[in-house]
Structure 1
Amino acid sequence: MIYMNVIKSRVFLNAVYLFVVQGVTYLVPLITLPYLVRVLGAQSYGVLSFSLAIIQYFILLTDYGFNLSATQKISVICGDINKISNVFWSVTCCKILLMIISAILVYTVTKVFDVMNGHELVIFSCFGLVLGNILFPVWFFQGKEQMGLSSISNIISKLLAIPLIFLLVNNPNDAWIAAIITSFTSISGGLISLTIIYHKKWVHWVGIRDLKIIQEFKDGWHLFISTAAISMYTTSIVVVLGIFSGPISVGYFTAADRIRQAVQGLITPITQACYPRINYLYRTSPEKGFELVRKLLYFQGGITLTLSIILMMFASVIVKILFGNGFERSDSVLTIMAFCPFIVGISNVLGIQILVALGYKKVFSKILLCSGGLCLILIGPSTYLYSENGAALSVLITEVFVTIAMLIVVLAKKVPIFKRENLNNEV
């Protein structure tokens, strides 16, 4: 009976929609990545990856903490169009302000740092991703548990990339074209999603004087610090590796990391679909909320452990099939990071679905800040000594640290995730 209710629930439907989107999200790279790697070569592909890593900082900045803080608000006030509209326009204005700051910073960075010389065109071509990220309010659809509609725009935009890349990217000098295509499809998806919101009349116009822009910045601050810390051991690794070892090593690392992220991304639909529902249940029926978290922990842990074992056992075969000859150095990188999907799968439940959802945002931020600091300590010497393998090792060690730290906090807070307990004495 419980499973039938789950199947009929919005959570299950949203998870299905998100799986479709995630499938397309990783199907497109699986189709285009081998082609890009072969056509661009390790050098140009490394430049493209390096440029995307730089732009990722500014996507992070414009995301701020809204993907969690705003989603949480929308899920709670889902029946009040006035409040929903205020949150929507307040967050959108915040993101636009952050995009303007980002544009200034991107221009400054390309002019100040020598390592950017020769890469300006590719970096500028990637900046459209920042605009696309703002135009696509995934946090809004997630909060309303209407991921099916956002899936349409997501799928259409991502599928557009396939013919464009095969038609327009033909030699190592076309890295900037690949970047423009990526930006174009991102912006297209955002415009489609906004059209859906407009036709559904989910929000109405709110005057700028009535917006709560400062409040939204305050509410997302600790989550922004957390995501910034995460960036230290994701985006920064590629940047530091590029500085110490050059674009070729970046190409080897990024190729393997894309595979790792594809496998790791399989859990994203589950976590995104469950997050708003878990928030709702914590406030209306805590027992059911913790029951859902327990099921998610065991299910997600089992799935990711299986995937990690497969990834480790067949790393060289997977790299060979996807990238062909010349990328043998990616084998060891993928082997080192093979268990990251399992580790991240556990930490996601402990961190997002428990600590953040229960209001322990400051503790969550501190853990990720410490882990970011640890990564910064490791990344320099590890990439200098062991190049792309050192970068992979830094990722693995940092993810293990995050998971252990979050588990310690969850146990210290006596959150009943492993067994049913009397909630009067918990949390």
Structure 2
Amino acid sequence: MIKKAAKLVDPEEFMLVMRNFTSLSVLQAVTYLLPVIIFPYLFRAIGPAKFGLISFAQAFVQYFMILTDYGFSISATKEISLCHDEHAKICSVFSSVMTAKIALAFLSLLLMTGIVFAVPKFRSDWMVYVFSFGTVAGSTLFPLWFFQGTERMKHIADLNILGGILYTALIFSFVAEPQDYLMVPLINSAVFLATGILGQYRVFRHFGVSFHFPKYANFRQQMKAGWDIFISNVAINAYTTTRIFCIGLLTNNTITGFYSIAEKMANFVQTFPLSSFSQALFPRLSKIFNRNKRKAYEIMWHVQQITINISLITLPLIFIFAHFFVRIVCGGDYHASVFSFRMLLIAVFFISANAFRVQFLLVCGKTHIYSRIHVVMAMIGLPLMFLLIYSFSYIGAALSTILIEAGIFTVTYVTVKRFKF
């Protein structure tokens, strides 16, 4: 089946996708291997309660990262990929997108400051949230969408690997006991800011891009192009990021810490190496779709089948040895983490079996359908999540994740199957 998928694309296109996939896979291998080392250390050094507090703060600032990302990670990536040889157009898109992202970052800072100092639960640990906000500023600056659109994934890999190594070295140097917990968000923010600034430098230095304040029409065009995807991202995070946030609100920091470990492990299984290939394939598949819609559909179908087959082999094995992986990370057989991890693996299967169908909605410009699916599931899933977490604690979070992802899989499968090319 892999050979069939490869035959559907030109050899040069296939090699470009594979080079980008390799770069992103190396990045993911390193950036996920480092947390495998760091998380057990942090969990032991600062304890489950402080680990849970930091995870809760990260989930909170994630909402502002969604706001600053808007929908540019998809809309701007696609636009850059389609105007690859038009330098003036690339400069215009870059200037408009960065202006919008910086404006949204300032808005995020105002919103976060207001919430933190107005709500007692946040105000009591305000330094954690303030120190965590640097990740929002850093992600705003980092031009991930630009590197993806130009299909120069090596820049993403280089900078993030450098950041991961730096983060690891600083954590081991400055975090040794529970009272050092504030250093964790501070170091994380510093590293995000450093890689963001270096990313901007590479755009100007290696691509010759120049920044100019955009015309209102160009600014408005970018905001409009990203709107449906932004709404979708808000909806998606309403039932993903909100899980940890909701557990933190309805339970305590210790339970949040145990569950967040399980979710981080499940995210590793979910994204490596699937996310790398998805990011590498998206700009190229967009170009193929512009030339031959049927060919792009067939490539998507073959790649999705390969992903399903791999998941059917690997996920059951990980499920069986879940307690072993949790023991390595946490240093003990914590039932809450093991049980949550195993349940989340079921949700991971639905996500993996649906990843390229979901992406294809964006490739073929069906952003309104993409948005509608996730908005409806968020409207159903968010109250379901709160109800299940309130009733069953961390078990409810994992159960709601399974139900939501199964629902998205079903709706997306039926929708894409109806497409005629």
TM-score, normalising length: structure 2: 0.95
- Match for residue 393 of structure 2 among 367, 387, 397: 387
Equivalent residues of 1:344, 1:403 under 8 A apart: yes
Is 1:118 aligned with 2:94?
A: no
Change in Cα spacing, 1:135 to 1:337, as seen in structure 2 (3 Å) is same
After the TM superposition, which of the residue ranges 192-201 and 381-390 deviates more from structure 2? 192-201
Q: Tell me by how many angstroms 1:297 deviates.
A: 0.6
What are structure 2's unaligned runs of at least 5 residues? none
Q: Tell me by how many angstroms 1:36 deviates.
A: 0.5
Equivalent residues of 2:94, 2:211 under 8 A apart: no
Report sequence identity in percent. 29
Equivalent residues of 2:133, 2:189 under 8 A apart: yes
Say which SS state the counterpart of residue 354 (structure 2) adopts. helix
Change in Cα spacing, 1:318 to 1:284, as seen in structure 2 (3 Å) is same
The residue that corresponds to 1:257 in the other structure is: 263
Equivalent residues of 2:138, 2:189 under 8 A apart: yes
Q: Tell me by how many angstroms 1:397 deviates.
A: 1.0
CA distance in 1, matches of 2:367, 2:215: 29
Name the aligned partner's letter for residue 312 of structure 2. Answer: L
Equivalent residues of 1:22, 1:269 under 8 A apart: yes
Q: 1:18-29 maps to which residues of 2 (within 5 A)?
A: 18-29=24-35
Say which SS state the counterpart of residue 176 (structure 2) adopts. coil
- Match for residue 313 of structure 2 among 284, 306, 313: 306
Q: Tell me by how many angstroms 1:238 deviates.
A: 1.2
The residue that corresponds to 1:94 in the other structure is: 100
Is 1:319 aligned with 2:335?
A: no
Say which SS state the counterpart of residue 331 (structure 1) adopts. helix
Q: Tell me by how many angstroms 1:379 deviates.
A: 1.3
The residue that corresponds to 1:340 in the other structure is: 347
The residue that corresponds to 1:275 in the other structure is: 282
What are structure 1's unaligned runs of at least 5 residues? 415-425
Let me know the Cα RMSD of the aligned residues: 1.6
Equivalent residues of 1:136, 1:191 under 8 A apart: yes
Q: 1:17-416 maps to which residues of 2 (within 5 A)?
A: 17-209=23-215, 212-266=218-272, 267-325=274-332, 327-352=334-359, 354-412=360-418, 414=419
CA distance in 1, matches of 2:92, 2:27: 28
Q: Tell me by how many angstroms 1:381 deviates.
A: 1.8
After the TM superposition, which of the residue ranges 195-204 and 31-40 deviates more from structure 2? 195-204
CA distance in 1, matches of 2:325, 2:206: 43
Say which SS state the counterpart of residue 325 (structure 1) adopts. coil
Equivalent residues of 1:14, 1:148 under 8 A apart: yes
After the TM superposition, which of the residue ranges 194-203 and 391-400 deviates more from structure 2? 194-203
Equivalent residues of 1:226, 1:365 under 8 A apart: yes
Name the aligned partner's letter for residue 283 of structure 2. Answer: P
Tell me the number of residue pairs that the alignment of Structure 1 and Structure 2 aligns.
414
Change in Cα spacing, 1:370 to 1:210, as seen in structure 2 (3 Å) is closer
After the TM superposition, which of the residue ranges 387-396 and 297-306 deviates more from structure 2? 297-306
Q: Tell me by how many angstroms 1:286 deviates.
A: 2.3
Equivalent residues of 1:51, 1:119 under 8 A apart: no
Q: Tell me by how many angstroms 1:208 deviates.
A: 3.2
Q: Tell me by how many angstroms 1:100 deviates.
A: 0.5
Q: Tell me by how many angstroms 1:125 deviates.
A: 0.7
Name the aligned partner's letter for residue 141 of structure 1. Answer: F
CA distance in 2, matches of 1:132, 1:304: 33
CA distance in 2, matches of 1:277, 1:411: 22
Q: Tell me by how many angstroms 1:302 deviates.
A: 1.9
CA distance in 2, matches of 1:119, 1:340: 33
Equivalent residues of 1:75, 1:143 under 8 A apart: yes
Equivalent residues of 1:55, 1:130 under 8 A apart: yes
CA distance in 2, matches of 1:271, 1:212: 28
Q: Tell me by how many angstroms 1:326 deviates.
A: 6.5
Change in Cα spacing, 1:119 to 1:310, as seen in structure 2 (3 Å) is farther
Change in Cα spacing, 1:172 to 1:327, as seen in structure 2 (3 Å) is farther
Post-superposition CA distance 1:79-101 (Å, at most 9, x none):
00000111111000000010001
Q: Tell me by how many angstroms 1:5 deviates.
A: 2.1
CA distance in 1, matches of 2:402, 2:115: 29
CA distance in 1, matches of 2:208, 2:284: 19
Say which SS state the counterpart of residue 215 (structure 2) adopts. helix
Equivalent residues of 2:61, 2:136 under 8 A apart: yes
Name the aligned partner's letter for residue 390 of structure 1. Answer: G
Change in Cα spacing, 1:203 to 1:115, as seen in structure 2 (3 Å) is same
Post-superposition CA distance 1:289-330 (Å, at most 9, x none):
123212211122222333321221111111011111273321
Equivalent residues of 1:50, 1:242 under 8 A apart: yes
Say which SS state the counterpart of residue 204 (structure 1) adopts. coil
CA distance in 2, matches of 1:119, 1:148: 38
Name the aligned partner's letter for residue 46 of structure 1. Answer: G
Change in Cα spacing, 1:212 to 1:111, as seen in structure 2 (3 Å) is same
CA distance in 2, matches of 1:306, 1:394: 24
CA distance in 2, matches of 1:202, 1:396: 46
Equivalent residues of 2:167, 2:191 under 8 A apart: yes
Post-superposition CA distance 1:256-304 (Å, at most 9, x none):
0000001111110000000001100000122331232122111222223
Change in Cα spacing, 1:324 to 1:6, as seen in structure 2 (3 Å) is farther
Name the aligned partner's letter for residue 406 of structure 1. Answer: T
